[in-house]
Structure formats: structure tokens, C-alpha cells
């Protein structure tokens, strides 16, 4: 009896959906904005009650709409938006939705934090809904993100706004092992939110993986995805997608490259750049400052900054994974008084997910590579973005600082520039970035290099991290494209090494090697101090064009892979987050000479540590690298060992002194307490001998029940058990103690 009722209801629903879709299609068609116009400049549409089909059969215009309810959207999407508390549109939403809803290709550019996500989530949902997309139709839409964290965040927005729709959606990102389950289900998904590496893996490996019905392709952070780092993967992906589709590209730093657009076969895209006329390229509520900090004082400055902002949520950018790890581990041991976290591409996926979620929840410091620079929303609540290392270019700067001051909130950023990097300031100002230059207040600087030195002596793993941090930083500078700003030769390498707490500068040489008569090709090389000519270690970077490249990283990534599939919006789904890209672009490999003539040190061979790459915990690279270190010349080893021994002695001496003075301090405190107590008793006329609070036998007044009665035993050097010195007067023998213990036991039993 119930069944007919249910089917009747379903039929009714279907019919009302059909009617709604018919109405939406007519509305969209009749009210389309003209191509090339900006809906933001259109007059506002009518108020409530006069929206949609009007009594005379015509439709209200939707170009110029200010609220989501004034757009031709399905009830399901509108309900989702209302529940997620979205009602007024942001500028990029107002400008792009009228065009995207009628199926046009979009090139959308708007500042960070201005709501670009909804500008593509809504048209995707609406397109599939109006096409009555169902499980049997397969993949209808693909959204690509450059990082796993961002993909996870986009997926959450789909789940939230699309909660009333019945589409199945999947998050396909690297870092998870259950790719087989994913392969079984991926063909049933309607919406794929993914990173390029993982998507390509499915295209290559999943039987019958079919995208031939794809309706909409979205590239979030489009300029990044079209960048050289993803080129190979993205080209391979696009070659497998149908040409007849809608393509939506969004970024705060949008590509205008004709080549990029040709690769994507865009059809007369609408270029909507809502802040082009704006005086600034960054959010208005963002206060930006820059200051010159010598490379060897950057950690002092960072430490001082953190100590001065303990109640804030701070995102700190460094240029490589190794730097992130080192600074995080070292600062953690120094206990700044605020929780510290770190995020980089070499962490296990689950940890990354956890860290990301924790940072969204709680005031803390997150040290990160550029893996966190794009798109992440962090619950709108980052107070400060600190760039310890100079960003590779203006776009990278804009995205990093864009992690704060999102939507309507304010935020602050600070950029540390080494003296050789001051040109960056001009470049930022040229690109409409209102950055205030301030002078560093060195009086309040709290130096940490001394503390780091002591830490490195104590913790050998930290020593290793410091060395790697040093090397990867120099390499990241060497790899930068913009040679006007980044010049290894101008860096105070020895001072920088010392500032990390290293007892001596790891030796790093960039050698120019002429390859026959050809143009100089460049290669990173480290050469042993002794016979450099014969023993030139081959660096892991070859000149042949197979050096570290973003593409190579991606392939490694694809192999690891990830994933997680969710079916139907609103169902439980944990985002799987992780990036697929290194932080820095790759240049042609070069041979280059770093510093000759510094004190003899260890010879370092560069390994494959990229600026922000994949997990190397068990990689051959790391093992090879470890090997290299242990193979360093004997001479160097001896010198280093000697230095460490000396440092260890120094630190031990200081440690003993500290302990002694602390003991003395405690003793004095106890005496004071005792005297005070005694005075009080005397005043009250109390008798002595009521007990000793001192805990010290020496000062214990005679006649009291003191700690003398405790028994201290320890092993004597000759192996005999004997009583401690405190037992010298009223000592008892072992036999007596046993007897006492037996008595005690028997009395308990009785």
C-alpha cells in the first residue's frame, strides 16, 4: 500500500523537476547577457516577487543580479546556498555567473578571498541538474586543483552547496593507498574534484574510465595548473577529454597566454577580471609590510616575531621542505609559547590532513612551503602571513599573502627580504601591491643562533636537518628564474650557516664546466676538498634536461596516489589532502659555482630534495644522500667531530653551572621559607618540632622528624649495596630493614 504512494510522490517530484528545468532553461535563454558585457555594470533586477517568469509570460533579467535568489538557479542549489549562509553575491560571482549559467567559457580573475569557488561550483551543479544527470551518465564534470588541500576544500564546498542534489562526487588526490577501491567506483562518479596527477593515473590505469560525456571542465588556480609543472600531465588529460564542453578557469593571477587558451580550446571565453580597475592587486583589508633582514638574521627575526605575537594564528612560508622541517623541529625544542605545526609535501597524507584541520581550529604557527600558498581558506582566520624566504615572483607573493584578509576579514603580512633581494619590493609595487617598507627594530631582536648551536650539539638528527636546510635553501635560490633578485653569490653563506647553528659551513661549490665548445651548461656540483679535479662527485642533477623538474615530481606523485571516493553529497567524507607539485619552478639545470675558499668542511652532494616534493622517508635518494655524507673525506670528518666534541664540552660545562646555580637558588628559597615559617610560629608561640617542610636535612632543626628517617640506597662502585650518605648516623642494616618489612607485612595480614 505504501509503495504506490512512494512512486506517486517520486513521479510528482520528477514532474516538478521537469517543469522547473524547463522554466530555468527558458529563463536563462531569454535573459542571457550579451557576450563581452560585464553583468556588474547592468542595472539591478527587480525585487522579490518579480523574479523568474513574470505575469506577462516574460522573464526577469538576471544580468546585474546582486543576490543568488535573483539568478535562474534550481531550488536545490538555492536551498544549499541559503543553508550555507550565502545570500549576497561577491563581485566575481555577480560578473561571471550570468555568463557561466548560459554555458559560456569563462576566464575569471579576482583577488584572493573574493569568492571564486562559488563562481564555478554553482554553474557545475546547475548544468548537471538541468541535464538531469544521473549515476549511469558517469563523469559530467572535472575540477582540477594544484594541491590536495585545496582539492579537499573545494570538495567540501560542493558537499555543502550541493547537499540537496543527488549527484555522486569523488575527491581524487594523491597520498592514499586504496586506489583499487577508487578504481572500482570512479566510473560511477558524476563530479570529480582532483589533482592532475591522480586524474591522469585513473585515465592510464582504470579499466573503462570514461570521460567522453564530460560537460564542464574547471581549473581552479588555472595559471598554476597551466604552468610548466603540470604541463605534461595536463596536456595528457586534455587530450582525452571531449572538445565540446564548457571550460571555466579561475585565479587571482589569471593567465592571458594565448598558448594556454589554445591548449584548452576555449571558445570565445568571457574574460571577467573584476578587480582590474582596482588600485591594488591584493585585498583592501590586507596590511602589508616588508623589511630588510640579512639572511643570517632571518631566524632571529622570525623567532622575535613569533615571541611578540603569541596569541595569533600565523602562517610562515619558507622555500623548501627541509627548511620547514628544520625550523619547526628546532623552534619546537626552544618552546616559544605558542603551538607550532608544519606542513609540506613530504609528509604522510593523514598527517597533512590533521595539521591542516588543526590549524583551521586553533591559534598556532604553521610553517609551510608553497603547498599552502594557493587557494586555502583556513576558516578565514589567519592573522599573519610571514614570508621568511622571498617568493619566487609577484604572483606567488599575491597568493601567499592571500591566505589572510579573506572575504570581509582583515589581515596582515610581513615579508623578510635579504639585502640582495630588495629589487622584489620594486616589482611588487609595480604590480599594484601596496606594501609598506619598515626598518627592522634590531634592538628587540632575540638571537637564536646560539641556542640552535647548542641544540645541534645535543640532537644529531637536527644537525642533519640544519645541513639539509642550508643546502636546499641555496639550491632553491640557484634554481630561481629571476636572477635580478636571486643571486647565490651575493649571499653571506658562512654567516647563514652559522645562524642555523652549524659549527662549520657545509661546503658547496657551483662549478662552471664547459661542455666542449658549447655554451656553458650548468650543474650543481660538490667537490671534495682534497683532489677536487679527480674526485668531482657527480651531482644528482644531470645536465641532460632530466634534472629535477616539476613534471618528474608529478610522476612520482601519481605513483603514490591517493584518493577517496564519496557518493552523494552530504554523506560522510573525509577530504584527502595533498599537493602534487613542488613549490618552486624549475629552471634549466645549470653548472654554477658556489663559494670557493671557505674553511674546509664537509662535502655535500646535492640530492633530489626538491623544494617541496614527495615523501622521501624511504627513498633511494635519501639513502644515497646519507651515504654521501658518511663518505666525506676523513679530514673533514675529523674536523667536524673535533668541533662537536668541543662544543659538547662547552655545553656540558654550561649545563653543570646552570644546574648548580639552580640548586643553590632552590636551597636559598627553602631557607627563606623555613625562616618565615619559624618567625610565624614564634609569633604565635608555637613550639618547635612540629614538622619540617624544608625537604632538606642539612637545614633541618635538630629534634624534628626529618627526612633523615628516609632510607636512600644506591649501588656502590664496587657493586655492594650500601646505605647512602644520609644514613650515616642513624643507619640500619639490610637485615634490619628486611625484618621491619616482614613485621609490617605480617601486621597487614593479621
Which of 76, 94, 104, 116 touches Mg ion (CB under 5 A)? Answer: 116
Using CB under 5 A as the binding criterion, the count of chain residues that bind Mg ion stands at 2
Nearer to ligand ADP, 88 or 514 (CB): 88
In angstroms, what is the minimal distance from the CB of 84 to ligand ADP?
Answer: 8
Nearer to ligand ADP, 28 or 119 (CB): 119
CA nearest to 349, candidates 193, 561, 192, 145: 561
In angstroms, what is the minimal distance from the CB of 251 to ligand ADP?
Answer: 9
Stretches 206-214, 374-382, 390-398, 713-721: which one binds ligand ADP (CB under 6 A)? 374-382
Please, where are the H alpha helices in 84-163? 91-101, 116-130, 148-161
Q: Which three cell numbers stand for residue 496?
A: 647563514
Which of 24, 89, 109, 435 touches ligand ADP (CB under 6 A)? Answer: 89
| Separation of alpha carbons 140 and 246, rounded Å | 11
How many beta carbons lie within 10 A of that of residue 736, not counting itself? Answer: 10
In angstroms, what is the minimal distance from the CB of 374 to Mg ion?
Answer: 8
Nearer to Mg ion, 116 or 231 (CB): 116
In angstroms, what is the minimal distance from the CB of 645 to ligand ADP?
Answer: 53
> Which stretch of DSSP H or E encloses residue 20?
helix 2-30
Tell me which residue has cell 683532489.
531
In angstroms, what is the minimal distance from the CB of 378 to Mg ion?
Answer: 12
In angstroms, what is the minimal distance from the CB of 248 to ligand ADP?
Answer: 12
In angstroms, what is the minimal distance from the CB of 152 to Mg ion?
Answer: 13
Name beta bridge partners: 512. Answer: 522
Q: Are strands 286-292 and 340-343 parallel, antiparallel or unpaired?
A: unpaired
Helices and strands, counts by H and E, the chain: 22, 19
Residue 563 contacts which entry, Mg ion, ligand ADP, none (Cβ below 5-8 A, type-dependent): none
CA nearest to 530, candidates 629, 636, 642: 636
Which of 109, 118, 194, 456 touches ligand ADP (CB under 6 A)? Answer: 118
Q: Are 143 and 193 in contact (CB under 8 A)?
A: yes
Q: Which three cell numbers stand for residue 100?
A: 557561466
Nearer to Mg ion, 116 or 309 (CB): 116
Which of 27, 59, 86, 486 touches ligand ADP (CB under 6 A)? Answer: 86
Residue 325 contacts which entry, ligand ADP, Mg ion, none (Cβ below 5-8 A, type-dependent): none
Which of 60, 70, 100, 117 touches ligand ADP (CB under 6 A)? Answer: 117
From residue 272 to residue 301, what is the string marking binding to ligand ADP with x (rule CB under 6 A)? Answer: ------------------------------
Q: Is 111 in the site for Mg ion (CB under 5 A)?
A: no
In angstroms, what is the minimal distance from the CB of 287 to ligand ADP?
Answer: 18
How many beta carbons lie within 10 A of that of residue 357, not counting itself? Answer: 15
CA nearest to 145, candidates 155, 135, 136: 155
Which of 74, 112, 253, 404 touches ligand ADP (CB under 6 A)? Answer: 112
Local structure of 366: helix, strand or coil = strand
Nearer to ligand ADP, 377 or 383 (CB): 377
In angstroms, what is the minimal distance from the CB of 554 to ligand ADP?
Answer: 23
Q: Are 175 and 352 in contact (CB under 8 A)?
A: yes
In angstroms, what is the minimal distance from the CB of 121 to ligand ADP?
Answer: 9
From residue 605 to residue 634, what is the string marking binding to ligand ADP with x (rule CB under 6 A)? Answer: ------------------------------
Nearer to Mg ion, 229 or 375 (CB): 375
CA nearest to 297, candidates 417, 385, 413: 417
Nearer to Mg ion, 116 or 344 (CB): 116
Using CB atoms, what's the residue nearest to Mg ion?
A: 375
Tell me which residue has cell 558537499.
159
Nearer to ligand ADP, 173 or 330 (CB): 173
695-700: long-range contacts, CB 8 A cutoff, minimum separation 24: 695/670, 696/667, 696/670, 697/726, 699/670, 699/671, 699/674
Residue 345 contacts which entry, ligand ADP, Mg ion, none (Cβ below 5-8 A, type-dependent): none
In angstroms, what is the minimal distance from the CB of 424 to ligand ADP?
Answer: 23
Beta strands in 325-375 (DSSP E): 340-343, 365-368
Q: Are strands 169-172 and 564-565 parallel, antiparallel or unpaired?
A: antiparallel
| Separation of alpha carbons 390 and 58, rounded Å | 56
Which of 375, 501, 558, 601 touches Mg ion (CB under 5 A)? Answer: 375
Q: Is 146 in the site for Mg ion (CB under 5 A)?
A: no
In angstroms, what is the minimal distance from the CB of 599 to Mg ion?
Answer: 48
Burial 533-564 (b: 16+ CB within 10 A, else e): eeebbebbbebeeebbbbebbbebbbebbbbb
In angstroms, what is the minimal distance from the CB of 117 to Mg ion?
Answer: 5
Nearer to ligand ADP, 85 or 749 (CB): 85
| Separation of alpha carbons 69 and 71, rounded Å | 5
Stretches 105-113, 258-266, 503-511, 636-644: which one binds ligand ADP (CB under 6 A)? 105-113
Please, where are the H alpha helices in 384-531? 394-401, 423-430, 449-458, 460-479, 493-499
Phi, psi of 180 (to 5 degrees): -65, -40
Q: Is 116 in the site for ligand ADP (CB under 6 A)?
A: yes
Given CA atoms 208, 214, 218, 224 in this order, what sign does their dihedral have?
Answer: positive
Local structure of 622: helix, strand or coil = helix
In angstroms, what is the minimal distance from the CB of 86 to ligand ADP?
Answer: 5
What residues have CB less than 8 Å from 666, skipping those under 6 apart?
none
From residue 377 to residue 396, what is the string marking binding to ligand ADP with x (rule CB under 6 A)? Answer: x--x----------------
| Separation of alpha carbons 552 and 337, rounded Å | 40
From residue 402 to residue 421, what is the string marking binding to ligand ADP with x (rule CB under 6 A)? Answer: ----xx--------------
In angstroms, what is the minimal distance from the CB of 406 to ligand ADP?
Answer: 5
Q: Are 494 and 598 in contact (CB under 8 A)?
A: yes
CA nearest to 195, candidates 609, 554, 585, 572: 554
| Separation of alpha carbons 741 and 259, rounded Å | 90
Nearer to ligand ADP, 110 or 353 (CB): 110
In angstroms, what is the minimal distance from the CB of 114 to ligand ADP?
Answer: 4
Stretches 171-179, 195-203, 373-381, 478-486: which one binds ligand ADP (CB under 6 A)? 373-381
| Separation of alpha carbons 331 and 327, rounded Å | 6
Nearer to ligand ADP, 410 or 701 (CB): 410
Stretches 82-90, 383-391, 533-541, 549-557: which one binds ligand ADP (CB under 6 A)? 82-90
Q: What angle do CA 300, 303, 309 make, to 5 degrees?
A: 140
Q: What angle do CA 558, 195, 344 make, to 5 degrees?
A: 80
Stretches 106-114, 318-326, 615-623, 721-729: which one binds ligand ADP (CB under 6 A)? 106-114
Stretches 375-383, 447-455, 633-641, 684-692: which one binds ligand ADP (CB under 6 A)? 375-383
Residue 632 contacts which entry, ligand ADP, Mg ion, none (Cβ below 5-8 A, type-dependent): none
Radius of gyration of the chain (CA): 33
In angstroms, what is the minimal distance from the CB of 101 to Mg ion?
Answer: 19
Q: Which residues bind ligand ADP (CB under 6 A)?
A: 86, 88-90, 93, 110, 112-118, 375, 377, 380, 406-407
Q: Which residues bind Mg ion (CB under 5 A)?
A: 116, 375
Amino acid at each position: 500500500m505504501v509503495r504506490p504512494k512512494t512512486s506517486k510522490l517520486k513521479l510528482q517530484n520528477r514532474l516538478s523537476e521537469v517543469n522547473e528545468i524547463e522554466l530555468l532553461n527558458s529563463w536563462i535563454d531569454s535573459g542571457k547577457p550579451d557576450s563581452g558585457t560585464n553583468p556588474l555594470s547592468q542595472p539591478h533586477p527587480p525585487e522579490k516577487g518579480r523574479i523568474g517568469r513574470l505575469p506577462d509570460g516574460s522573464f526577469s533579467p538576471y544580468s546585474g543580479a546582486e543576490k543568488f535568489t535573483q539568478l535562474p538557479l534550481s531550488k536545490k542549489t538555492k536551498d544549499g546556498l541559503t543553508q550555507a549562509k550565502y545570500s549576497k553575491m561577491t563581485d566575481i560571482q555577480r560578473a561571471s555567473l550570468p555568463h557561466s549559467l548560459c554555458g559560456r567559457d569563462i576566464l575569471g580573475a579576482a583577488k584572493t578571498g573574493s569568492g571564486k569557488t562559488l563562481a564555478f561550483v554553482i554553474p557545475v551543479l546547475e548544468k548537471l541538474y538541468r541535464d538531469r544527470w544521473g549515476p549511469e551518465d558517469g563523469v559530467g564534470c572535472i575540477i582540477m586543483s594544484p594541491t590536495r588541500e585545496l582539492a579537499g576544500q573545494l570538495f567540501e564546498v560542493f558537499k555543502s552547496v550541493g547537499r540537496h542534489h543527488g549527484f555522486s562526487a569523488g575527491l581524487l588526490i594523491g597520498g592514499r593507498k586504496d586506489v583499487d577501491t577508487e578504481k572500482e567506483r570512479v566510473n560511477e562518479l558524476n563530479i570529480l574534484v582532483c589533482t592532475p596527477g591522480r586524474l591522469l593515473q585513473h585515465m592510464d590505469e582504470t579499466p573503462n574510465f570514461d570521460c567522453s560525456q564530460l560537460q564542464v571542465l574547471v581549473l581552479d588556480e588555472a595559471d598554476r595548473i597551466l604552468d610548466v609543472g603540470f604541463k605534461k600531465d595536463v596536456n595528457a588529460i586534455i587530450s582525452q577529454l571531449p572538445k565540446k564542453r564548457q571550460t571555466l578557469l579561475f585565479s587571482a593571477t589569471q593567465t592571458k597566454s594565448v598558448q594556454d587558451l589554445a591548449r584548452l580550446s576555449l571558445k570565445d571565453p568571457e574574460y571577467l577580471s573584476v578587480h582590474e580597475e582596482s588600485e591594488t592587486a591584493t585585498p583592501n583589508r590586507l596590511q602589508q609590510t616588508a623589511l630588510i633582514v640579512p639572511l643570517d638574521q632571518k631566524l632571529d627575526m622570525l623567532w622575535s616575531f613569533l615571541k611578540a605575537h603569541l596569541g595569533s594564528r600565523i602562517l610562515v612560508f619558507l622555500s623548501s621542505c627541509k627548511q620547514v622541517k628544520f625550523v619547526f623541529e628546532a623552534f619546537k625544542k626552544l618552546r616559544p609559547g605558542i603551538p607550532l605545526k608544519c606542513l609540506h609535501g613530504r609528509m604522510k597524507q593523514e598527517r597533512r590532513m590533521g595539521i591542516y584541520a588543526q590549524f583551521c581550529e586553533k591559534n598556532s604557527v604553521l610553517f609551510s612551503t608553497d603547498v599552502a600558498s594557493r587557494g586555502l581558506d583556513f576558516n578565514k582566520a589567519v592573522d599573519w602571513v610571514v614570508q621568511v624566504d622571498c617568493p619566487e615572483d609577484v604572483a606567488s607573493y599575491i597568493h601567499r599573502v592571500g591566505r589572510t584578509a579573506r572575504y570581509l576579514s582583515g589581515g596582515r603580512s610581513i615579508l623578510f627580504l635579504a639585502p640582495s633581494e630588495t629589487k622584489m619590493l620594486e616589482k611588487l609595487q609595480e604590480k599594484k601591491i601596496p606594501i609598506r617598507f619598515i626598518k627592522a627594530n634590531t634592538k628587540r631582536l632575540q638571537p637564536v643562533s646560539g641556542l640552535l648551536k647548542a641544540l645541534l650539539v645535543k640532537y644529531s638528527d637536527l644537525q642533519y636537518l640544519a645541513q639539509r636546510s642550508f643546502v636546499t635553501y641555496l639550491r632553491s635560490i640557484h634554481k630561481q628564474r629571476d636572477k635580478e633578485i636571486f643571486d647565490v653569490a651575493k649571499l653571506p653563506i658562512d654567516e647563514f650557516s652559522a645562524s642555523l647553528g652549524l659549527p662549520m659551513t657545509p661546503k658547496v661549490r657551483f662549478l662552471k664546466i664547459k661542455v666542449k665548445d658549447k655554451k656553458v651548461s650548468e650543474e650543481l656540483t660538490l667537490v671534495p676538498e682534497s683532489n677536487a679535479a679527480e674526485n668531482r662527485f657527480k651531482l644528482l642533477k644531470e645536465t641532460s634536461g632530466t634534472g629535477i623538474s616539476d613534471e618528474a615530481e608529478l610522476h612520482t606523485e601519481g605513483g603514490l596516489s591517493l584518493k577517496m571516493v564519496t557518493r552523494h553529497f552530504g554523506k560522510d567524507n573525509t577530504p584527502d589532502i595533498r599537493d602534487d607539485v613542488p613549490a618552486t619552478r624549475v629552471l634549466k639545470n645549470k653548472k654554477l659555482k658556489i663559494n670557493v675558499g671557505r674553511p674546509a668542511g664537509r662535502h655535500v652532494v646535492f640530492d633530489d630534495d626538491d623544494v617541496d616534493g614527495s615523501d622521501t622517508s624511504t627513498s633511494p635518494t635519501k639513502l644515497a644522500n646519507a651515504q654521501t655524507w658518511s663518505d666525506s673525506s676523513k679530514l673533514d670528518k675529523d674536523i667536524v667531530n673535533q668541533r662537536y666534541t668541543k662544543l659538547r664540552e662547552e655545553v656540558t660545562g654550561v649545563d653543570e653551572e646552570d644546574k648548580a646555580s639552580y640548586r643553590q637558588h632552590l636551597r636559598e628559597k627553602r631557607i627563606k621559607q623555613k625562616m618565615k615559617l619559624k618567625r610565624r610560629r614564634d609569633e604565635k608561640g608555637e613550639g618547635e618540632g612540629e614538622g619540617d617542610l624544608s625537604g632538606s636535612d642539612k637545614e633541618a632543626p635538630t629534634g624534628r622528624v626529618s627526612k633523615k628517617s628516609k632510607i636512600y640506597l644506591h649501588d656502590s662502585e664496587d657493586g655492594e649495596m650500601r646505605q647512602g650518605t644520609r644514613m650515616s648516623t642513624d643507619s640500619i642494616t639490610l637485615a634490619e630493614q628486611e625484618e621491619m618489612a616482614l613485621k609490617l607485612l605480617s601486621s597487614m595480614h593479621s
